[in-house]
């Protein structure tokens, strides 16, 4: 039995695809081992969202070859798509597979090994050619689905690709144009996962707000229809949406999802900046006012929804006044969490050639300021639930201070701890209700005292 080790970099979509590739290799007879252990095959699911991500991808590729020079090192995904010349010249890479061929990894690897044993020389790059959208109906894309869950929460990829072309983003070139999975196929996948014990599904994609658009559908209606289908799947207790944009938060959409009892009141609305001038240079397709309207609709229909977001600091041309406007906007919105990113030049994007690139010192100072804000906001949000009843979906044990707890998340994605001695038997996958008794100092957790 050959041993395979896999490592993931990047987004939740990459994570889903790695789970599928792991499943396919296991079904093909591979023993899956930790990446740090000796293996016959190393698969690195790469990321290219920034130049730093490219560097990390190369580092993991080279680490794999150093661990076992005789192993087959497979580079998969976005880095392969955006820098094929670099991949072709990298002697540590034996086989490279583009995004749209991830679903064929077991067969591609089998053919590669057979050719190598027979002494045949093969072109190691198998690009998905996603940029021109020629493979929108690629069977390999359609066949990627998860049969065996690794956890009680499962990420479900519902679409791929992006047509937005934000000025800082390389992803449309790495992932290609939008293409959506069939709603019935997604529903069947979720039914299978529910039968295996999954309680929560997270709908994810490169640009979830485009779901159905490639089929000529209204994304609002298409996404709402999908969620209504999943609401009926027995065994699924929670439906969580991945990253969204404010334009989809119309009254029709928000009121529609508010009528679904399984939808979690946790919404990750991508902001990037709270300043309209910065948003314009980013080629984002909304204003700060439109973003605020979306948040207000969510708060009108859901009780204390968790609103999380992404913000880029130090974007080219971002003045002190623009950053101050963005920071003020974040403060006024009152996010649960802000994921703060220092702008990183990505060669091949419009933003890379914009004037007034910011210094690392400015980016770091602004990042620290927003991080301090989000720490305060997150603590204030969690504190609101002390003394109230909440429900945790338990995930895994954690030893802290010599005592064992189970970790979990509420519907609003607040992390919690439950003392293990108060949970008879195995805890993973259980929904536990109880009283939030306080915050766990120095951690992002709340402490939940379960019902007897």
The CATH number for 116's domain is 3.40.50.12160
Identify the CA nearest to 240 among candidates 350, 353, 393.
393
Identify the pLDDT of residue 70. Answer: 94
- What share of the chain has pLDDT > 70, as a percent? 94
CB 14 within 8 A of CB 8: yes
pLDDT digits (tens, 9 = 90+) for 152-206: 889 999 999 999 999 999 999 899 899 999 999 999 999 999 999 999 999 999 9
Task: Report phi then psi at 350, rounded to 5.
Answer: -65, -40
Name the residue with higher pLDDT: 357 or 122: 357
401-424: burial string, b at 16+ Cβ within 10 Å, e else? eeeebbbbbbbbbbbbbbebebbe
Domain count along the chain: 2
Residue 341 lies in a domain: no
C-alpha to C-alpha distances, 195 to 95, 119, 198, 253, nearest whole angstrom:
36, 45, 7, 29
- CATH number, domain containing residue 444: 2.40.50
- What share of the chain has pLDDT > 90, as a percent? 81
Average pLDDT over residues 302-327: 98
pLDDT at 56 over 60: yes
Query: Band of the pLDDT at 141, cuts 50, 70, 90?
Result: low
Residue 203 lies in a domain: no
Identify the CA nearest to 264 among candidates 158, 391, 382.
391
113 CA to centre of own chain? 32
Domain limit, last residue, from 82, 104, 126? 126
Identify the pLDDT of residue 123. Answer: 62
Residue 154 lies in a domain: no
Q: What is the CA radius of gyration of the chain?
A: 23
CB 270 within 8 A of CB 244: yes
Identify the pLDDT of residue 128. Answer: 53
Residue 436 lies in a domain: yes
Identify the pLDDT of residue 380. Answer: 97
Identify the pLDDT of residue 425. Answer: 73
Query: Band of the pLDDT at 452, cuts 50, 70, 90?
Result: confident
6 CA to centre of own chain? 17
239-251: burial string, b at 16+ Cβ within 10 Å, e else? bbbbbbbbbbbee
CB 307 within 8 A of CB 337: no
Identify the CA nearest to 112 among candidates 43, 176, 63, 58.
43
Gap between the Cα atoms of 431 and 338, Å rounded = 27
91-100, 233-242, 306-315, 380-389: least confident range: 91-100
Residue 220 lies in a domain: no
Query: Band of the pLDDT at 142, cuts 50, 70, 90?
Result: low
CA dihedral 185, 263, 220, 193 (to 10 degrees): -10
pLDDT at 132 over 50: no
Domain limit, last residue, from 100, 126, 152? 126
Identify the pLDDT of residue 51. Answer: 85
Cβ neighbours around 66 below 10 Å, total: 10
Residue 40 neighbours by CB under 8 Å, 6+ apart: 2, 3, 4, 68, 71, 72
pLDDT at 9 over 50: yes
Identify the pLDDT of residue 76. Answer: 95
Gap between the Cα atoms of 7 and 436, Å rounded = 36
Give the sheet arrangement for strand 95-97, strand by strand.
Answer: 31-32, 3-8, 41-46, 72-77, 95-97, 125-126
pLDDT at 430 over 60: yes
151 CA to centre of own chain? 15
Residue 136 lies in a domain: no
pLDDT at 124 over 90: no
C-alpha to C-alpha distances, 326 to 280, 330, 370, 383, nearest whole angstrom:
13, 6, 10, 25
Gap between the Cα atoms of 330 and 249, Å rounded = 18
Angle in degrees, CA 312, 316, 319, rounded to 5: 85
Terminal-residue alpha carbon distance, the chain: 47
Pairing type for strands 200-205 and 238-241 reads parallel
pLDDT at 131 over 50: no
Cβ neighbours around 211 below 10 Å, total: 27
Identify the pLDDT of residue 126. Answer: 67
Residue 199 lies in a domain: no
Identify the pLDDT of residue 342. Answer: 96
The domain of 393 spans 389-450
Residue 73 lies in a domain: yes
3-class state of residue 387 by DSSP: coil
pLDDT digits (tens, 9 = 90+) for 65-95: 999 999 999 999 999 988 888 999 999 999 9
pLDDT at 395 over 60: yes
């Amino acid at each position: 039995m050959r041993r395979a080790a896999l490592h993931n970099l990047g987004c939740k979509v990459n994570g889903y695809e790695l789970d599928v590739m792991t499943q396919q290799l296991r079904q093909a007879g591979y023993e899956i081992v930790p990446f740090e252990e000796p293996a016959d095959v190393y698969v690195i699911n790469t990321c290219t969202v920034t130049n730093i991500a490219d560097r990390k991808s190369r580092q993991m590729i080279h680490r794999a070859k150093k661990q076992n020079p005789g192993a087959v090192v497979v580079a998969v995904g976005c880095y392969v798509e955006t820098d094929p010349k670099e991949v072709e010249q990298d002697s540590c890479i034996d086989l490279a597979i583009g995004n749209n061929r991830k679903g064929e990894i077991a067969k591609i690897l089998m053919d590669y090994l057979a050719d190598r044993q027979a002494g045949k020389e093969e072109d190691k790059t198998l690009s998905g050619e996603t940029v021109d959208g020629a493979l929108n109906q690629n069977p390999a894309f359609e066949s990627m689905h998860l049969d065996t869950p690794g956890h009680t929460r499962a990420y479900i990829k519902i679409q791929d690709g992006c047509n937005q072309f934000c000025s800082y983003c390389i992803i449309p070139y790495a992932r290609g144009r939008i293409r959506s999975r069939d709603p019935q196929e997604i529903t069947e996948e979720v039914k299978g996962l529910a039968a295996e014990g999954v309680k929560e599904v997270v709908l994810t994609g490169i640009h979830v707000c485009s779901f159905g658009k490639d089929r000529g559908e209204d994304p609002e209606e298409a996404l709402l229809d999908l969620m209504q289908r999943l609401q009926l799947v027995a065994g699924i207790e929670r439906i969580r949406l991945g990253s969204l944009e404010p334009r989809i938060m119309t009254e029709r959409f928000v009121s529609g999802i508010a009528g679904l009892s399984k939808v979690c009141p946790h919404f990750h609305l991508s902001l990037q900046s709270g300043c309209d001038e910065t948003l314009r240079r980013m080629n984002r397709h909304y204003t700060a006012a439109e973003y605020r309207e979306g948040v207000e609709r969510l708060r009108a229909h859901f009780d204390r929804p968790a609103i999380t977001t992404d913000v880029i600091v130090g974007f080219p041309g971002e003045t002190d006044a623009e950053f101050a406007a963005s920071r003020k906007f974040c403060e006024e919105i009152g996010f649960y969490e802000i994921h703060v990113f220092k702008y990183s030049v990505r060669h091949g994007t419009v933003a890379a050639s914009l004037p007034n690139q910011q210094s690392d010192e400015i980016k770091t100072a602004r990042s620290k300021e927003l991080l301090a804000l989000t720490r305060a906001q997150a603590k204030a949000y969690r504190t609101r639930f002390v003394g109230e009843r909440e429900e945790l979906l338990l995930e895994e044990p954690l030893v802290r201070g010599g005592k064992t707890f189970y970790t979990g998340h509420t519907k609003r994605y607040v992390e919690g701890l439950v003392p293990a001695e108060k949970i008879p038997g195995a805890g993973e996958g259980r929904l536990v209700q109880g009283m939030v008794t306080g915050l766990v100092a120095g951690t992002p957790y709340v402490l939940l005292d379960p019902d007897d």
